[in-house]
Structure 1
């Protein structure tokens, strides 16, 4: 009887020692979110050293809220063509997507800003030229053909849900560019919605509506990138779009 009691005591002691590790969910056991795109998921200008994404960027906020492991592959300055090329040719991106449980894509912003620069609008240039260049590029399907192909490439690698962020107005209310961009962006964002609707398990996070005219709170002053509060908004709408809330 003493032997049995002693054995039970040893067993209980061993169980008490290993149970925290046994029952705690390891990081590798968590579902994963892979973020693809530009400086917005990277969290540019949020105080980091620019070698690594900011931990206050929306992918990490989603991960913290929903207990997801995050792989943030946002690259500042990237346009849609660069994301497409990476998904087609670079194993780092392909393998990350293959193993993803959720994918977030934010791309197209720099394509549109490039048109703005070509029209000289950053220095008060020609608004008519901006509209002409925008319509020309969009009619040639350069931007949305690349984004559509990037979604298709992503879908060829995984059947995970994809959240596609549309374009918010990055200009403050006291900036004339705000009123150049605002009437144009709804049409552009309709194209994002159409891309999502034409692909299975792809959902739009409506950054344009979420930011509205609250650039003073959600966009860094003298910049175009989200503040920490803006990143939280992007996280919230991403969680909702993916049905995680």
Structure 2
């Protein structure tokens, strides 16, 4: 009889264990640390501004608003073009390794692709059509850059933020000093370039972060003396625009 009771108790225990619901995994925010890598041109590099570039400021905001430890790398190169960034990602093993090790990748590129056409326009040998012909190449390069970033990250959660430009040429008081025609063409070309950049980013599910809005009210306030690069206030605006997007790809369950 004792043996029978023991068997019954053992069977009941097994049944309870068998029908206990599986625990539900709770959604927890990653604790990091996160690594940020910025690719781009002189804007990313912080040229013409004796200040902390937006990459560093964005890292500060990320740390403050998420509580996650953050490190950042700034790989911005003055004069860099979109095909130059792509070539570096494909051919420079150190850059590729750094991107592969990054949870957040920032990309600001495309304005320098238009320098030749701007020179032709200023010499009177180019109209808006010259600039239009550059746009498919910029879009294709941005698409390929984001695609390469995804490939290097090998399916890991990654925040890829591609910025557009407030202006691909000079803006504010500097642009005004160059005349109405310059201001008009710069705004037209900027709209075309931003559309190409954002289309390239969207094609690979990257976020395109708008920089036109933050600079619109008073571009001069956010620009260095050359009218081409951000000053300290401009870099702060860029960092805030990036941070306002959030960190959804890294914090979603």
For the pair 1:208 / 2:212, whether they are aligned, the reply is yes
1:88 and 1:94 in contact (8 A); partners too = yes
CA–CA distance in structure 2, aligned partners of residues 130 and 220 of structure 1? 28
Unmatched runs of 5 consecutive residues or more in structure 1: 1-28, 48-53
For the pair 1:83 / 2:85, whether they are aligned, the reply is yes
Tell me the TM-score normalized by structure 2. 0.74
Superposed, 1:14-29 pairs within 5 Å as none
| Higher RCO structure, 1 or 2 (CA under 8 Å, sep 6+) | 2
What is the root-mean-square deviation in Å for CA atoms of aligned residues? 1.9
Corresponding residue number in structure 2 for 1:4: none
CA deviations 1:82-129 (Å, max 9, x no partner) are: 10000001011101111101000000011123321232x2xxx43x71
For the pair 1:43 / 2:21, whether they are aligned, the reply is no
Question: How far is 1:213 from its partner?
Answer: 4.5
For residue 183 of structure 1, the aligned residue among 157, 182, 188 is 188
CA–CA distance in structure 2, aligned partners of residues 79 and 189 of structure 1? 15
Superposed, 1:124-203 pairs within 5 Å as 125-126=123-124, 129-138=126-135, 141-158=136-153, 159=156, 160-169=158-167, 170-173=170-173, 174-175=176-177, 176=179, 177-200=182-205, 202-203=206-207
Question: How far is 1:187 from its partner?
Answer: 3.1
CA deviations 1:54-102 (Å, max 9, x no partner) are: 5x10000011222220011000110111100000010111011111010
CA–CA distance in structure 2, aligned partners of residues 228 and 154 of structure 1? 29
Secondary structure of 1:153's aligned partner: helix
Secondary structure of 2:130's aligned partner: helix
1:217 and 1:229 in contact (8 A); partners too = yes
2:142 and 2:201 in contact (8 A); partners too = no
Equivalenced residues, count: 201
Runs of 4+ displaced beyond 3 Å = none
